[in-house]
Amino acid sequence: MSALEQNIIKFISDNKLIESNDKLLLALSGGADSVFALTFLTNFKNKYSIRICALHINHSLRGDESDGDEKFCMKFCSDLNIEFYSEKIDIKSIAENKKLSIEEAARNIRYEKLEEYLKISNSDKIVTAHNLDDNTETVLLNLFRGTGLKGLSGIPVKRDNIIRPFLSAGKSEIIEYLNGNNIEFRIDSTNKQSEFKRNYLRNEIIPKIRENINPKADRNILRLSQIIKNAELVLKDLVTENASKFISYINSELIISKEIKRIPSHLIGEVIRRSIEEKLSVIIDYEDFLNIQNLIDLQVGSKVDLSQNLEAVSEREYLLIRKKMNTENSATDIELYFNSEIKFGERIIGCMEVNINEVRYTNSKNVEFINADGLVEPLVIRRWEHGDKFNPLGLKGTKNVSDFLTENKVPASSKNEQLVLLNKSMIIWVVGYRIDESVKISNKIKKAMKLWIK
């Protein structure tokens, strides 16, 4: 048994990555890393009592070369008697349609397909062949882009049903093993093109670090990543505790109480950063954290633009963080037909006819069920106007929408953007807050309608 194999076996054991009777789905590109991964798993499948299958995604980026990779993987798996799946995808078109980089689109599709084929193949875990060098590149890329502890913790050894048993194996060790055992693998010609940021690090920067600073830099970075990961877990608990006290999420807006100043300043940025990442599904820059913290002490109505198309607004007792208002397609009334969705600015509003037995009440104010018996399409969605009135569910008599919003402490910065849904010129929903008494569900109705905003 080689030193490389011993190292990987210890890494798998230390991190409890493989269990007896696991069926593993390997992401197989045909490159050195995944070919080595499949070779290792095949050689030690009896030791671990595992079954193995492989998935190859042909990204259609390099013409005949991409097709050659797919054929190679098919034959390699056939020679090893490994269950094999493949799929050809036009990544370039997907990237253009979704306005993503080629790298990001390829990564997203790869993981989507791995999850899909995990079920198709009835596998237990997904295996990727990320190695020690990949972790170094990831940590340095995150560092140079600007990141928190999570970015410096590197590539996760295990995340949900995805395992990475080869993170302790260096690229040079893998190549040496394959060459020494006369095992062929494919070479992606684009890996030599340094116009990609990761390739530039891989080809230009990291070799100089190993040569001029420390040949063991990769292992030191992996060790640091593991230390940071442990610190990250401790900090996560602390952040979660404070976020529950000072941060809430309503109608797609993050509301940060200015009382957050009571906690240590070094925690404020981390609490806000993680809340934005979790609730708004974006990662913002370090400069954004500083701007948000400074906004706490600025006068009411102050606003700062953030990255990721976000803005932060100072209200009397709290800060609002939300998507920037997009006035396109939201300057006038918009018709909403039954069983459809429409976009109003950054929001999507929809309605769908449902059976009475499908009515499900939830705590979400973004979903409502109403009596559909008197509805006439199209419904109309617009911003509220002065003089608008409705009869809030549970109250007797009408109320001005303006008064209703004030009583419900809708921030001044959001009040002007508040939407209402109308049926035959009558407001039936102050969107995200309350339906009108006239459309409440009762046991006498014949039809129901589900409304939502997202």
DSSP state of 119: H
Q: What is the pLDDT of residue 194?
A: 66
Q: What is the pLDDT of residues 320-338, one digit of tens each?
A: 898 876 545 445 789 999 9
Percent of the chain past pLDDT 90, that is, above it, reads 55
Apex CA 305: angle with CA 302 and CA 309, to 5°?
140
Mean pLDDT across 148-174:
91
Question: Of 217, 237, 272, which closes a domain?
Answer: 217
pLDDT at 452 over 60: yes
Mean pLDDT across 107-119:
92
Question: Are 298 and 356 in the same domain?
Answer: no
pLDDT at 264 over 80: yes
pLDDT at 245 over 50: yes
pTM for the predicted model, two decimal places: 0.61
DSSP-derived 3-state class of residue 233: helix
Question: Are 311 and 356 in the same domain?
Answer: no
In a 10 Å sphere around its CB, with 0-12 CB exposed, 13-18 middle and 19+ buried, how is residue 360 labelled? exposed
Would you state the structure tokens that stand for residue 356, as one six-digit string? 């009475």
Q: What is the pLDDT of residue 193?
A: 67
Question: Are 314 and 264 in the same domain?
Answer: yes
Q: What is the pLDDT of residues 60-104, one digit of tens each?
A: 888 888 899 999 999 999 999 999 999 998 888 888 888 888 888
> Average pLDDT over the chain, rounded to whole?
89
In a 10 Å sphere around its CB, with 0-12 CB exposed, 13-18 middle and 19+ buried, how is residue 318 labelled? buried
Q: What is the pLDDT of residue 408?
A: 87
CATH number of the structural domain spanning residue 383: 3.50.40.10
Question: Are 205 and 259 in the same domain?
Answer: no
Question: Are 294 and 414 in the same domain?
Answer: no
Please check whether residue 115 lies inside any domain of the structure: yes
Number of CB atoms found within 10 A of residue 376's CB? 8
Question: Are 47 and 112 in the same domain?
Answer: yes
Question: Are 27 and 75 in the same domain?
Answer: yes
Handedness of CA 374, 378, 384, 388 (dihedral sign): negative
Question: Are 305 and 340 in the same domain?
Answer: no
Question: Are 311 and 339 in the same domain?
Answer: no
Taking alpha carbons only, the member of 345, 340, 308, 314 closest to residue 419 is 345
Q: Give me the domain span that covers residue 402.
A: 334-453
Q: What is the pLDDT of residues 404-435, one digit of tens each?
A: 998 988 877 678 789 999 999 999 999 999 99
Amino acid at 28: L
Number of CB atoms found within 10 A of residue 252's CB? 15
Q: What is the pLDDT of residues 342-354, one digit of tens each?
A: 988 778 999 999 9
Question: Of 164, 192, 217, which closes a domain?
Answer: 217
CATH number of the structural domain spanning residue 185: 3.40.50.620
Q: What is the pLDDT of residue 325?
A: 62
Mean pLDDT across 40-67:
92
Asked whether 73 and 28 are in contact (CB, 8 A), the reply is yes
Question: Are 317 and 289 in the same domain?
Answer: yes
Question: Are 317 and 342 in the same domain?
Answer: no
DSSP-derived 3-state class of residue 316: coil
Q: What is the pLDDT of residue 332?
A: 74
CATH number of the structural domain spanning residue 300: 3.30.465.60
Reported as a pLDDT band with limits 50, 70 and 90, residue 131 is very high
Q: What is the pLDDT of residue 448?
A: 92
Render the burial of 378-387: b for 16+ CB within 10 Å, e for the rest: bbbbbbbeee
Question: Are 47 and 185 in the same domain?
Answer: yes
Question: Of 263, 291, 323, which closes a domain?
Answer: 323
Q: How many domains does the chain have?
A: 3
The H or E element containing residue 58 is: strand 51-58
Handedness of CA 59, 60, 64, 67 (dihedral sign): positive
- Omega of the bond prior to 156 within 30 degrees of 0, cis? no
DSSP state of 436: B
Q: What is the pLDDT of residues 373-411, one digit of tens each?
A: 999 999 999 999 988 999 999 998 999 999 999 898 887
Which residues, in sequence order, are bridge partners of residue 399? 390
Q: What is the pLDDT of residue 323?
A: 82
Please check whether residue 142 lies inside any domain of the structure: no
